[in-house]
Amino acid sequence: MPYSSVLGHTEIVANLRSMVESGRMPHAVLFTEKAGYGALPLALATLNHMFGGSPKVTRLVHPDIHFTFPINTSTLIGGDKRGELEQFYPLWRELVLGNPYFSEAQMYKAFGMENKLGTISVAEANSMIRKLSLSSYEGGAKVMLIMFPERMTLECANKLLKNLEEPRSGTYYFMVSHNPEKIISTIISRCRIIEVPPIDRELVAQELIKVAGVSGEEAAFWAKCSGGSLGKALELIQREEEQSEHYSTFVSILENALQKDLCALTDTWEQVASYGKERQKALCTEGAEILRKLYMISLGMDEISYASAKEMKTLGDLSGKIKKEFYHKGYGYLNNALECIERNVNPKFIFCDLCNRIYYNI
């Protein structure tokens, strides 16, 4: 899939083109979205227009366009921390050119960081400032595209703040965020905010037929499940093909709790406690989605449960065994677990507590 392809969002595209052509492009632009709505393709298509459609832009190798994204240096080969971000550039280009609708978790997976949480450090802030202070190679604009700026450390954000307040002529910051509420307010206040809405369901379905090779009926189903996120639709198709580990784990937690098999439940939470943070968060997120599907099925609303035929075989049986009042409580338990993971609470406490609450209330 060409990285610069933009699905829908014609009004946003027209406004961005107008900014470029009239010379009114703000020096700091923050694209916000739910994962997979197309903020990165919009940002890249805008850069393509700014730089005259240069093939270097298309291949993500233009010398005046720089990229920054959260990493974890412990994953570097040989532990070498010199030029650490540059070591990830080949993986970054491969990811973006293959599927620019990716989520943060998918980026970490592509980088071999499934069990690590990435950050953008103050050292990287210094590097960004240095790169934009150099003369332009081609005599035009210089751009820094920051993916997931919500992962900037406080020191990093404060370091960049002066550059955003007093930008150099011809320098631009483009940022793509899935959690803008986690960006410090002083950064937000200095950016032009572009909120990217969901993609039209029919466009998602058409794209799925083209890039995922599914039938029209399957494409319509996954587009309906996606909530307007091409990235989510592609991920759902992949999960269906691979049978998600997180799906199996959470379903087993529910089944063991229903069967009052405390030993099996203990084995499961001990295993989950050994996962990395991102893997633990993914389990909780998928658990919440499974509870939503179960609740819809329990109410006889199978059509809007968005459960696949394969899932219905398991979830249809489970839904009849779970107390109706458990669903609201279960969401609360999972959200609390997510908050505790973010606060670096001991994972053994988190998942022992989660499984105990499920055991006693399901």
The pLDDT tens digits along the chain (362 residues) read: 443 479 999 999 999 999 999 999 999 999 999 999 999 999 999 999 999 999 999 899 999 999 999 998 765 555 444 457 888 999 999 999 999 999 998 999 899 887 678 999 999 999 999 999 999 998 899 999 999 999 999 999 999 998 898 888 899 999 999 999 999 999 999 999 999 999 999 999 999 999 988 899 989 989 988 999 999 999 888 877 655 788 899 999 999 999 999 999 999 999 999 998 888 998 999 999 999 999 999 999 988 888 887 788 889 989 999 999 999 999 999 999 999 998 999 999 999 999 999 999 99
| Confidence (pLDDT) at 306 | 84
| Confidence (pLDDT) at 168 | 87
| Confidence (pLDDT) at 2 | 44
| 306 close to 289: Cβ distance less than 8 angstroms | no
CATH 3.40.50.300 fits 10-195, yes or no: yes
SS3 string of the chain? Answer: CCCCCCCCCHHHHHHHHHHHHHCCCCCEEEEECCCCCCHHHHHHHHHHHHCCCCHHHHCCCCCCEEEECCECHHHCHHHCCCCHHHHCHHHHHHHHHHCCCCCHHHHHHHCCCCCCCCEECHHHHHHHHHHHHCCCCCCCCEEEEEECHHHECHHHHHHHHHHHHCCCCCEEEEEEECCHHHCCHHHHCCCEEEECCCCCHHHHHHHHHHHCCCCHHHHHHHHHHHCCCHHHHHHHHHHHHHCCHHHHHHHHHHHHHHCCCHHHHHHHHHHHHCCCHHHHHHHHHHHHHHHHHHHHHHCCCHHHCCCCHHHHHHHHHHHCCCCCCHHHHHHHHHHHHHHHHHCCCCHHHHHHHHHHHHHHHC
- Among the listed residues 27, 124, 21, 34, the one whose alpha carbon sits nearest the alpha carbon of residue 72: 124
Which sequence spans correspond to the domains of the chain? 10-195, 243-361
| Confidence (pLDDT) at 305 | 87
| Confidence (pLDDT) at 75 | 56
Q: How far apart are CA 24 and CA 18, in angstroms?
A: 8
| Confidence (pLDDT) at 239 | 74
Q: How far apart are CA 328 and CA 323, in angstroms?
A: 10
Amino acid 225 reads C
Q: How far apart are CA 320 and CA 300, in angstroms?
A: 11
| Confidence (pLDDT) at 241 | 64
Q: 243-361 maps to which CATH number?
A: 1.20.272
